[in-house]
Structure 1
Amino acid sequence: MDSWYSFPVAFDEIKTIIVDLIGKVKRSSKIAFIFNGKKINILSLYKIAMK
Structure 2
Amino acid sequence: MSEKGGKYTKHEPPIFYNIEQDPGERYNTTSECPDALTRIQKIVDERQKTFH
- TM-score w.r.t. length of structure 1: 0.31
Larger Rg: 2
Relative to total residues, which structure has the larger strand share, 1 or 2? 1
- TM-score w.r.t. length of structure 2: 0.31
Higher relative contact order by CA 8 Å / sep ≥ 6: 1 or 2?
A: 1
